[in-house]
Amino acid sequence: MILVVDDEVRLGEVVAAALEARGFPSHFVDSVPAALAWMDANPVSLVLTDLRMPGAGGRELLALLSAARPEVPVVIMTAYASVRDAVALIQEGAFDYISKPFEIEDVIATVGRALKLRETEAENLRLREELRAKYDFASLVGTSASFQQVLRQITEVCASRATVLLHGESGTGKELVARAIHDNSPRRNKPFVAVNCAAIPESLIEAELFGHVKGAFTGATATREGRFAAANGGTLFLDEIGDMPLPLQAKLLRAIQEQTFEMVGSTRPVTVDVRFIAASHRDLRAAVENRSFREDLYYRLNVFPIQVPALRNREGDLDLLAEHFLAKHARSMGKRLSGFSKAAAAAMGAYHWPGNIRELQNCVERAVIVAQGDLVDVADLPPYLFEDRPRMAPAQTALPDDLDAELERYEREILTAALRETGGVQARAAELLGITERSLWHRVKKLGIRIARVAS
């Protein structure tokens, strides 16, 4: 709803009617008190107000709205416009001004621009809040001593602009830590730009980071800014920095130290204000020793090092993280799952998780998809959790020809082991597995397991 405020009743009514005719719902009032009363009772997207009116005028209304409703753009109409007035009004928070007499098309165009900007700002705010909710401390789940140390270090460094170097295995959540540092820093409302140095071809990474001018190389048909410029005012996260090509490391060092760089194909320096966070799963000290990583760049990055622990070194955090991911994925899929069975929790606890938190999240998501009951059970977990040898990369792992048969085989092995351990006593075996005796009986019958003094 657009609110038109003007003491010239006829003019205000005409403007409101013209806006209505162009698809902008509008309402007209003839004073500032009437405008404030209307806004208290109705949603307003934009205020179009006259500058000078008896009593309080447009400047006073602008001041009130700038303090109480800064999200509502204000456009001023005035017959007393001058360059000085225009600059002052914009500095005081007005979106724009329109000089009387005006063409109604000018009013329509100005209103359209203001509403488009408001829509864009609202969407940006929504996305920032979504990211903040996703990446703030609430997403950093864990009570282990090793992980609490990480949280303490984030708290210590987030308010500064110090360069941070994150060490840790793949999948440990280094980008989550980087985002938490940014989102709890004075730069929280500026861009967070993440670059995976290992994922960009060596021939393109310089242009990706620093941008390029038109004609700099074959295919450069237009000037394009790089990630450094995109992160201006905010934080640039250089993930897998250990894979940065050695020839480019000198230019990166200068850019970090001096906050200045040149675009590919240009000699004109570009200055930025960027906070740097880097991460690597490689041992950068060893890389320095074997001359695959510059020593001066390493020390420039290693101002505030943080070691992000592997999941196997976070005692007690596995269950918390699994429950966190279970709640998240169950909610997104509309499933009612209250937790994991004792047997499923035990199986997950016995696994070594070489892929760390990323692998755990994928495992839980898959289990939520498969689960049919109130709990995630052993049969819902991926088969590789029960293999004796370490799980290798997916590309090196053969998929079963018959998933149902494979799951049935694992279920049979677990039931048989439980019955053997309890000497064939089904009540004790059911208790050990965290299921009811009736459920155990149905599974034994379904799988054709013979029970004597011990399972066979």
Residue 368: which of 407, 323, 405 has the closest Cα?
323
What is the full DSSP assignment across 198-227?
Answer: TSS-TTTHHHHHH-B-TTSSTT--S-B--H
Instruction: Say how far apart CA 5 and CA 27 lie, in whole Å.
Output: 9
φ/ψ (deg, to 5) at 128: -65, -40
Question: Quick one: tokens of 55?
Answer: 């009593």
Q: pLDDT per residue over 242-286, tens digit each?
A: 999 888 999 999 999 999 998 888 888 899 999 999 999 999 999
DSSP3 helix / strand / coil % (the chain, rounded to 5):
50, 15, 35
Question: Quick one: tokens of 91?
Answer: 């500095």
Instruction: Say how far apart CA 309 and CA 315 lie, in whole Å.
Output: 10
Please, what is the average pLDDT of the chain? 85
Residue for token digits 């005006």? 102
- Can you tell me whether residue 57 is helix, strand or coil? coil
Is 59 in contact with 92 (CB distance < 8 Å)?
yes
Residue 416: which of 404, 432, 401, 400 has the closest Cα?
432
**Per-residue pLDDT tens digits of the chain, which is 456 residues long:** 899 999 889 998 999 999 989 888 899 998 999 999 988 888 888 999 988 888 888 888 998 888 888 888 999 988 765 556 666 787 788 888 888 888 888 889 988 888 888 887 777 666 555 555 554 455 688 888 899 899 899 989 998 999 999 999 999 999 999 999 998 899 999 999 999 998 888 878 888 899 888 877 777 778 888 899 999 999 999 999 999 988 899 999 999 999 999 888 888 889 999 999 999 999 999 999 999 999 999 999 999 999 999 999 998 899 999 999 999 899 888 888 889 998 899 889 989 999 999 999 999 999 999 998 889 999 999 988 887 544 444 444 456 666 767 777 778 778 877 777 777 788 887 777 778 888 888 788 887 787 764 434
Residues β-bridged to residue 224:
212
Instruction: Say how far apart CA 246 and CA 190 lie, in whole Å.
Output: 30
Residue 118 has what DSSP assignment? H
Give the model's pLDDT for residue 393: 43
Instruction: Say how far apart CA 321 and CA 333 lie, in whole Å.
Output: 18
Is 48 in contact with 15 (CB distance < 8 Å)?
yes
Q: For the chain, which domains are there? A: 2-125 (3.40.50.2300), 136-309 (3.40.50.300), 311-394 (1.10.8.60), 398-456 (1.10.10.60)
Give the model's pLDDT for residue 410: 77
- Give residue 110's Cα distance to chain centre: 34
